[in-house]
Amino acid sequence: NAGVTQTPKFRVLKTGQSMTLLCAQDMNHEYMYWYRQDPGMGLRLIHYSVGEGTTAKGEVPDGYNVSRLKKQNFLLGLESAAPSQTSVYFCASRTGTGTYEQYFGPGTRLTVT
C-alpha cells in the first residue's frame, strides 16, 4: 500500500495564480484532512471531509476550497494565490472508528511570490 500520497511535492506560484493539490489514499479511510504547517505555528486544519461528497471548514479555511468527489481523493484548491499562502501543506486520513489516529502524506511545499 502506498498510504497517503500528495501531488505535487513542490510548486512555485505567482500571486493571483491558481492551483490544485491532490491527495490520494488507498486505505479506504472515511475521513480526510488538509493542514498547513508554518514555522512556530504547528499544524493548522484548513478543511476536512467525513466522507465522499462532504466537506467542512477547519481552523483556517479562507482562500481555499476543497472537493471530495471520490472516497480516495481529496483536492485542495487555491483560486487566487497570495504570499500568505506560502507554506507546507499536508494531507491526512483516518478510519471512522477506532482511536482516531491520522496517517499523513509527505507534504507539498508551496511558495507564492
Partner 1 sequence: GNSVTQMEGPVTLSEEAFLTINCTYTATGYPSLFWYVQYPGEGLQLLLKATKADDKGSNKGFEATYRKETTSFHLEKGSVQVSDSAVYFCALSVGGGSQGNLIFGKGTKLSVKP
Q: Is 50 in the site for partner 1 (CB under 8 A)?
A: yes
Task: Show contacts with partner 1 in window 71-110 (CB under 8 A).
Answer: 90, 92, 94, 96-97, 99-107
Under the binding rule (CB under 8 A), the answer on residue 52 touching partner 1 is no
Residue 3's alpha-carbon distances to 24, 39, 99, 109, 111, in angstroms, are 8, 26, 18, 19, 25
- 45 lies in the site for partner 1, by CB under 8 A: yes
Give, as one character, the DSSP assignment of residue 83.
G
- Report CA-CA distances (Å) from 35 to 1, 23, 74, 97, 111: 22, 12, 12, 21, 16
Provide the minimum distance between the beta carbon of 37 and partner 1 in the complex, in angstroms, as a whole number: 9
Footprint of partner 1 (CB under 8 A)? 4, 31, 33, 40-43, 45, 48, 50, 56, 58, 90, 92, 94, 96-97, 99-107
